[in-house]
Amino acid sequence: MNQHLVEVLVIGAGPSGCVSAAFLQDRGIKVRVVEKNVFPRFVIGESLLPRCMDHFEEVGLLDGLNAFGFEKKFGARFIKGDKVCEFDFSKKHTKGWDWTWQVPRADFDKVLVDGLVKKGVEVSFGHEVVDVVIHENGDSETTIKDENGTPYLIKAKYIIDSSGYGRVLPRLLHLDKPSVLPNHSSIFTHVVDVNRPEGREGTLITFDVIETEVWLWVIPFSDGRTSIGYVGPTEFLESFEGSNSEKLRHLLQLSNYYCDRFKGVDFLFEPVLIKNYSKSVKQLYGKGFVLTGNSAEFLDPVFSSGVTFATESALLGAKLIAKVLDGQAVDWEKDYSDYIKEGVSVFSSYVREWYSGNLQTLFFHQPENPEVKRQICSVLAGYVWDRTNPFVTKHNRLIRTVAHFIDLEKQKRER
């Protein structure tokens, strides 16, 4: 069996893998990326957050993305019946990027990996990891099958698992554990948005809340396509009979705001149904490996946090590995696991309180509290490690407290 020797093996060529590999390559560390799929390929996770722009800029991948012309995302709109709440990323508590993109991931990931290849990184497409052995000293031997099914071996000092939904190391090393979040599922597709309105309305990413736990996403792209998808309790989505196309067409009728816009529009592919999508792991790192992005944790699509967590963890993991390879001491528990879990904990609270209805109470309350909205907007922009923001530091109780206060005030007015 052929053998290859690298310092770092990166599994997966999505945003997480590209960010980590780009950082390592720029520091002269020998890195190899293996990717099971052939690009371009479809994947979900099409709405980004401003925080991830910092990551693309730091590793030198931003210029290529800027040149492509993706739809710019300046905020997000939430609708519930006749109530509307809009967040503007330029009006947030934390300093940082005021915009990001809405992207067809097939195009976006291809641009990223093209930028990675230009840096000189070797990327192998159609290559599948089938076995991993990690020795006591952290050195690893990874068995991979190429596009012809021929196995070969990569020996590495470190493995970065950026395999996303493939969750390679969690599967092979038995690291998966149940998520504490409720069982929700999603069904989605793309359409040619022939009825898209002109101007700003046609570009807005929108979350249309049908019921407290059921909502529709609408993500317009710059090429005229739009991503549409429903999220809800698994048993709710399973209650609709027929094919996935029939299920989604029925669900679209539930949206008063978007029913006419998408009535009769052709689906570009048979809608995909993902059940019980929230995932978790027993640990985020181990001797000789680190988990990044969706290969570690996946929360919920409601606040579009997936790509941002992927790139945040990828960049941090790569920085810490570079330190180790340079002979510096690293406290992986404190410097990586605790840090990532802190951000995951913040977004987990927002997901739980969204589905409890408390966060929706804050979103749609009138009159708005501008300072509260600025602080929440920072979280929605991905700045969940800013400890000057009380909606970060007190995330586990502040949402409930404010929602309870709003309910009490409402009851007083109704007496």
Average pLDDT over every residue of 104-109: 96
The confidence score (pLDDT) of residue 411 equals 73
pLDDT digits (tens, 9 = 90+) for 13-49: 999 999 999 999 999 999 999 999 999 999 989 999 9
CA distances from 372 to 294, 391, 392 (A): 30, 8, 12
The confidence score (pLDDT) of residue 377 equals 97
Element (H, E) at 207: strand 206-211
Distance of alpha carbon 261 from alpha carbon 249, whole angstroms: 12
- How much is the pTM? 0.94
The confidence score (pLDDT) of residue 181 equals 77
The confidence score (pLDDT) of residue 415 equals 62
- Other beta carbons within 10 angstroms of residue 6's beta carbon come to 20
Under the banding of pLDDT at 50, 70 and 90, the label for residue 168 is very high
Of 21-30, 159-168, 255-264, 402-411, the one with minimum mean pLDDT is 402-411
Backbone angles phi, psi at 219, to 5 degrees: -125, 100
Average pLDDT over every residue of 380-397: 95
Distance of alpha carbon 387 from alpha carbon 94, whole angstroms: 10
Element (H, E) at 414: helix 395-414
Average pLDDT over every residue of 209-217: 96
Distance of alpha carbon 47 from alpha carbon 188, whole angstroms: 14
Q: How many CA atoms, within 13 angstroms, populate the side-chain half-sphere of residue 115?
A: 28
In the predicted model, is pLDDT for residue 278 greater than 80?
no
Under the banding of pLDDT at 50, 70 and 90, the label for residue 414 is low
Mean pLDDT for all residues in the chain: 94
CA–CA–CA angle 82, 102, 269 (5° rounding): 90
Whole-number percent of the chain with pLDDT over 90: 85
What the block records as the tokens of 364 is 């749609």
Under the banding of pLDDT at 50, 70 and 90, the label for residue 108 is very high
Element (H, E) at 52: helix 51-58
pLDDT digits (tens, 9 = 90+) for 336-387: 999 999 999 999 999 999 999 999 999 999 999 999 999 999 999 999 999 9
Asked whether the beta carbons of 259 and 253 are under 8 A apart, the reply is: yes
Distance of alpha carbon 105 from alpha carbon 115, whole angstroms: 15
Average pLDDT over every residue of 176-200: 90
Under the banding of pLDDT at 50, 70 and 90, the label for residue 311 is very high
Three-state SS for 298-318 is: ECCHHHCCHHHHHHHHHHHHH
Average pLDDT over every residue of 147-151: 96
191 by DSSP, 3-state: which? strand
Higher per-residue confidence, 239 vs 412? 239
The confidence score (pLDDT) of residue 17 equals 97
In the predicted model, is pLDDT for residue 412 greater than 90?
no
Distance of alpha carbon 80 from alpha carbon 143, whole angstroms: 50
Higher per-residue confidence, 127 vs 414? 127
